[in-house]
Amino acid sequence: MESIQVDHVDKSFQSGKSPVEALKNITFNVKQGELFGLIGPDGAGKTTLFRILTTLMLADKGDAWVDGYHVVKDYEQIRKRVGYMPGRFSLYQDLTVEENLSFFATLFNTTLEENYELVKDIYVQIEPFKKRRAGALSGGMKQKLALSCALIHRPSVLFLDEPTTGVDAVSRQEFWQLLRGLQKQGITILVSTPYMDEASLCDRVALMQNGSIMKIDSPGGIISQFQKPLWAVQGDNMYQLMHDLRHDSRVDTCYPFGQYHHVTFNESTIDIESLKKEFQQKGVHSITIDRTEPTIEDCFMELMNQ
Amino acid sequence: MRTLRILLEKEFRQIFRNPAILRLIFMMPSIQLIVLPLAADYEVKNIKIAVVDQDHSSYSRQLVNKISASKYFDLASYTSSYNEALEEVEKDRADVVLQIPANFEKDIVRHDESNLFMALNAINGVKANLGGVYLRSIINDFNNEIRLDWIQMPRFNPQPMIQVSSINWFNPMLNYQYFMVPGILVILVTMVGSFLSALNIVREKEVGTIEQINVTPIRKHQFILGKLIPFWVLGIVVLTIGMILARLFYGIVPDGSLLTIYLFAVIYLLSVLGLGLLISTYTETQQQAMLISFFMMMIFILLGGLYTSIDSMPAWAQTFTKFNPVSYFIEVMRMVVLKGSTLYDIRYHLLIVAAFGVFLNTWAVINYRKRT
Within an 8 Å CB–CB cutoff, is residue A112 touching chain B? no
Q: How much of chain B, in percent, has pLDDT values that exceed 90?
A: 30
Which residue type is seen at B130? L
Which of B110, B134, B150 represents a domain boundary (last residue)? B150
| Contact check, Cβ <8 Å, A93/B207 | yes
Residue of A nearest to B214 (CA): A56
Q: What is the mean pLDDT of chain B?
A: 87
- In terms of domains, do B328 and B197 share one? yes
How far is residue B296's CA from residue B185's CA, in Å, rounded to a whole number?
18
Q: Tell me the sheet residues that pair with A11.
A: A23
Is B39 part of a structural domain of the chain?
Answer: no
- In terms of domains, do A276 and A139 share one? no
- In terms of domains, do B195 and B284 share one? yes
Residue B34, pLDDT above cutoff 80: yes
Is B160 part of a structural domain of the chain?
Answer: no
Percentages of chain B per state (helix, strand, coil), in multiples of 5: 65, 5, 25
Is B182 part of a structural domain of the chain?
Answer: yes
Is B264 part of a structural domain of the chain?
Answer: yes
- 3-state DSSP assignment of residue A269: coil
The number of beta carbons lying within 10 Å of the beta carbon of residue A81 is 17
Most confident of B41-50, B284-293, B306-315: B284-293
Instruction: Please report the pLDDT score of residue B41 as a whole number.
Output: 65
Is B372 part of a structural domain of the chain?
Answer: no
Instruction: Please report the pLDDT score of residue B274 as a whole number.
Output: 92
Q: Tell me the sheet residues that pair with B115.
A: none
State the best of A75, A103, A132 to mutate against chain B, taking most chain B CBs within 10 Å: A103
Instruction: Please report the pLDDT score of residue B43 as a whole number.
Output: 67
Instruction: Please report the pLDDT score of residue A240 as a whole number.
Output: 84
Contact call for residues B242 and B185 (beta carbons, < 8 A): yes
Contact call for residues B77 and B88 (beta carbons, < 8 A): yes
- In terms of domains, do B94 and B213 share one? no
What's chain B's length in residues?
Answer: 372
Chain B residues touching chain A at CB-CB below 8 Å:
2-3, 6, 10, 13-14, 17-18, 207-218, 370-372
Instruction: Please report the pLDDT score of residue B288 as a whole number.
Output: 93
- In terms of domains, do B236 and B284 share one? yes
Angle between helices A169-184 and A139-151 (to 10 degrees): 10
Question: Is the interface score ipTM higher than 0.85?
Answer: no
- In terms of domains, do B140 and B209 share one? no
CATH of the domain at A107: 3.40.50.300
Which of A167, A196, A223 represents a domain boundary (last residue)? A223
- In terms of domains, do B212 and B133 share one? no
Which of B100, B134, B150 represents a domain boundary (last residue)? B150
More confident residue, A166 or B17: B17
Q: What are phi and psi of B92, to 5 degrees?
A: 65, 30
- In terms of domains, do A160 and A251 share one? no
| Contact check, Cβ <8 Å, B211/A90 | yes
Which of A223, A254, A278 represents a domain boundary (last residue)? A223
Q: Which residues of A touch B216 (CB under 8 A)?
A: 79, 104, 107-108
- Low-confidence stretches of chain A (pLDDT < 70) are none
Is B19 part of a structural domain of the chain?
Answer: no
- Domain encompassing residue A128: 2-223
Q: Tell me the sheet residues that pair with A204.
A: A36
- In terms of domains, do A104 and A206 share one? yes
| Contact check, Cβ <8 Å, A88/B211 | yes
- Domain encompassing residue B56: 47-150
B13, B218, B370 ranked by CB distance to A107: nearest: B218
Rounded alpha-carbon distances, angstroms, from residue B208 to A90, A164, B204: 5, 18, 6
Residue B372, pLDDT above cutoff 60: no
- In terms of domains, do A263 and A134 share one? no
Instruction: Please report the pLDDT score of residue A18 as a whole number.
Output: 83
| Contact check, Cβ <8 Å, A94/B18 | yes
Contact call for residues A294 and A225 (beta carbons, < 8 A): no
CA angle B136, B142, B144 (to 5 degrees): 105
DSSP H helical segments within A37-112, as ranges?
46-53, 75-81, 97-107
Instruction: Please report the pLDDT score of residue B296 as a whole number.
Output: 92
Q: Tell me the sheet residues that pair with A23.
A: A11
- In terms of domains, do B356 and B271 share one? yes
Q: How far is A275 from chain B (nearest CA, A)?
A: 55
- In terms of domains, do A11 and A69 share one? yes
- In terms of domains, do B196 and B286 share one? yes
Q: String of b and e for B269-297 (b: at least 16 CB within 10 Å)?
A: bbbbbbbbbbbbbebeebebbbebbeebb
- In terms of domains, do A200 and A257 share one? no
- In terms of domains, do B101 and B200 share one? no
- Using one digit for the tens of pLDDT, what is the confidence trace for B80-139? 888 988 888 888 888 899 999 988 888 888 888 888 999 988 888 878 888 888 888 888
- In terms of domains, do A50 and A127 share one? yes
Instruction: Please report the pLDDT score of residue B42 as a whole number.
Output: 64
A57, A80, A103 ranked by CB distance to B6: nearest: A103
| Strands A18-31, A2-15: pairing kind | antiparallel
- In terms of domains, do A150 and A17 share one? yes
Q: Which residue, among A85, A31, A32, A21, has the nearest Cα to A59 in the 3D structure?
A: A21
Structural domain tally of chain B? 2
- Using one digit for the tens of pLDDT, what is the confidence trace for B357-366? 999 999 988 8
Structural domain tally of chain A? 2
- In terms of domains, do B329 and B235 share one? yes
Counted across chains A and B, CB pairs separated by less than 8 A come out at 71
Q: Which residues of B touch A109 (CB under 8 A)?
A: 2-3, 217
Residue B169, pLDDT above cutoff 90: no
- In terms of domains, do A141 and A287 share one? no
Q: String of b and e for A153-172 (b: at least 16 CB within 10 Å)?
A: bbbbbbbbbbbbbebeeebb
Rounded alpha-carbon distances, angstroms, from residue A1 to A65, A67, A82, A188, A209: 12, 9, 17, 11, 27
Which of A196, A223, A250 represents a domain boundary (last residue)? A223
Q: How far is A290 from chain B (nearest CA, A)?
A: 48
Q: How far is CA A78 from the centre of its chain?
A: 22
How far is residue A277's CA from residue A235's CA, in Å, rounded to a whole number?
12
CATH of the domain at B70: 3.40.1710.10
- In terms of domains, do B67 and B112 share one? yes
A204-209: strand order across its sheet: A82-85, A157-161, A188-193, A35-39, A204-209, A212-217
Instruction: Please report the pLDDT score of residue B40 as a whole number.
Output: 66
Instruction: Please report the pLDDT score of residue B142 as a whole number.
Output: 87
How far is residue B159's CA from residue A107's CA, in Å, rounded to a whole number?
87
